[in-house]
Amino acid sequence: MASEKKCPFQTQQFGRPVDDNQHSQTAGPRGPVLMQDVHLVEKMAHFNRERIPERVVHAKGYGAYGTFTVTGDITQYCMADLFSKVGKQTETFARFSTVGGESGSADSARDPRGFALKFYTDQGVWDLVGNNTPIFFIRDPLKFSDFIRTQKREPQSHLKPHWRRWDFWGEVPESLHQVMFLYGDRGTPKSARFMNGYGSHTFSVYNADGKRHWVKFHLKTQQGIENFSDEEAVQIAGEAPDYSTRDLFDAIDIGDYPQWKMFIQVMPESDAAGYEWHPFDLTKVWPHDDYPLIEVGVFELNRNPSNYFQDVEQAAFEPGNLVEGIGISPDRMLQNRVLSYPDAHRYRLGVNYHQIPVNQPRCPYATYHRDGTMRVDGNGGGSVDYEPNTMDGPVETGRTKEPPMPVHGDGRRYDEFACDDKDYYGQPALFWNKVLDDPARDRLCTAISNSMADSPQRIRDKVLEHFRKIHPDFASGVERRLEAPADEPIPIA
């Protein structure tokens, strides 16, 4: 492995041929091993260091390479080079994941799915690091680590009792919308091929005249939505914990390349202040009637990674990887994410993580970063390593079309969201009334009551009170299931 020329025999890591890979050096045929056995020690020591920290969230995942092709002209909104022409193609990489489980956990767990896309554009890498849901549980990054702990293991027992999540959700009602998505049918997708993806946040896009619009990105599966039932998800977790990993790998392997259509919703900048839903609140969608989907292109996955660890485990996505034409918005979750991800990568992969091939830009790039652990890209050779300089080093372009982000107000901790009933319960009620039919409501109530079974009464009461404000049938549907014997069928309403 590793060297350019194929080696006809096994070697140690510095090239010495291995004469015997079956027997350690010992003192006599029946004696102890000798410390001088460099080959043995090298094998042992390398093996002891093979694991790197797993992602603190989204640890279990799978990925593939692909292509993005523009099918709709959005240059009036966005000057990003990758959208510049209908028919233009860009190389991509995608990683799909569950959130709360460890890297060996089951793919079918009821959990949001990560939907992380990397576009190797001619003008730098753009990462769209989304989920299979258009919303999230919280809208302030200060709550992120607390929320995630409720999805992880309990500190004393190392078990995962569900009451912890209901305890948190009961106290944080902006989470209800996403809770309904999670316990609805799309909380257990069969595999990445059968789910939608969403950038979730509101992003800024601007055109060549520097005019800004706010947008949301949507990726709609072309394979159709397919989910496991609650029972199937549990069964598959035992029988085939890597079900979705295999599903994507096998499909690509036989040339059945999955596709998603990319759409945007576009909001004129001037709409933001007066729109009935806070446009930078990650717990809200923009209803399609207000901001219809506009087709942008087709995202296809068509090449499996040649090595999982190299390409998938070492992939580093970051919402701050943006290209000219796309920017962030005042969404405070997004603003925190642009800082959090590179911080996590420096810890997990090291400061030079941008050199790992899956993360590298495919266009020329020239920074003044030097040195750091595992620098292996020539380190700039003898070129000048400071700027400004008179030595013909790379210089800034001086060009930007990005419109300034208007900010105002005194710095302090605000709860500036309305926090009235419409704010917490308005869109969950739309979801219950408009999107779900009775069988889907039934499955939602059953999945929630199964999960709430270990919750003490005070937590149940708090959560049911919230559900009542979404719809009385929702609360009673869950309550009656909680009180009923497990196998008794209970109709909605």
What are the backbone dihedrals phi and psi of residue 38, each rounded to the nearest 5 degrees, phi first?
Answer: -60, -35
Is 58 labeled as catalytic in the residue annotation?
yes
8 A C-beta contact, residue 88 and residue 70: yes
Cβ-proximal residue to ligand HEM, closest one? 114
Task: Give the separation between CA 238 and CA 62, rounded to whole angstroms.
Answer: 19
Separation between Cα atoms, residue 331 and residue 340, nearest integer Å = 15
Instruction: Based on the shown chain and the rule CB under 6 A, indicate whether residue 435 belongs to the binding site for ligand NDP.
Output: yes
Applying CB under 6 A, the span of 46-54, 90-98, 184-192, 454-462 interacting with ligand NDP comes to 184-192
Interface mask toward ligand NDP for 144-183; x: CB under 6 A: -------------------------------------x--
Closest contact distance (angstroms) between CB of 108 and ligand NDP is 17
Contacts of 244 (CB under 8 A, 6+ apart): 62, 96, 107, 108, 189, 190, 191, 192
Query: Token pair for residue 393?
Result: 């080093």
Q: Does 311 bind ligand NDP (CB under 6 A)?
A: no
Nearer to ligand NDP, 124 or 184 (CB): 184
Does 422 bind ligand NDP (CB under 6 A)? Our answer is: no
Q: Can you tell me which of 95, 186, 193, 466 binds ligand HEM, judged by CB under 6 A?
A: 95
Q: Is 272 in the site for ligand NDP (CB under 6 A)?
A: no
186 binds ligand NDP (CB under 6 A): yes
Residue 317 and residue 354 in contact, taking contact as beta carbons nearer than 8 Å: no
Is residue 200 a contact point for ligand NDP (CB under 6 A)?
A: no
Helices (H), 222-282: 230-239, 243-253
Under rule CB under 6 A, residue 185 binds ligand NDP = yes
Contact code string over 96-135 relative to ligand HEM, x by CB under 6 A? -x----------------x-x------------xxx----
Concatenate the DSSP letters of all residues of 340-384 into one string: HHHHHHHHHT-TTGGGSTTTS-SS---------TT--S-TTTTS-
Give 3-state DSSP helix, strand, coil % of the chain, rounded to 5.
Answer: 30, 15, 50
Residues forming a β-bridge with 118: 93, 127
184 contacts ligand NDP (rule: CB under 6 A): yes
Q: Quick check: is 369 catalytic?
A: no
Q: Which residues 6+ apart lie within 8 Å of 115 measured at CB? A: 94, 96, 130, 131, 132, 192, 195, 197, 198, 219
SS3 231: helix
Contact code string over 308-327 relative to ligand HEM, x by CB under 6 A? -------xxx----------
Which among 131, 207, 304, 359 is annotated as catalytic? 131
257 annotated as a binding-site residue? no
CB nearer ligand NDP, residue 329 or residue 427: 427
Neighbours of 426 (CB within 10 A): 18
State whether the Cα torsion 273-277-283-288 is positive or negative: negative
The catalytic residue positions are: 58, 131
Contact residues for ligand NDP, defined by CB under 6 A: 134, 181, 184-186, 196, 220, 285-289, 427, 430-431, 434-435
Contact residues for ligand HEM, defined by CB under 6 A: 55-58, 61, 95, 97, 114, 116, 129-131, 136, 141, 144, 200, 315-317, 333, 336-337, 340-341, 344-345, 348
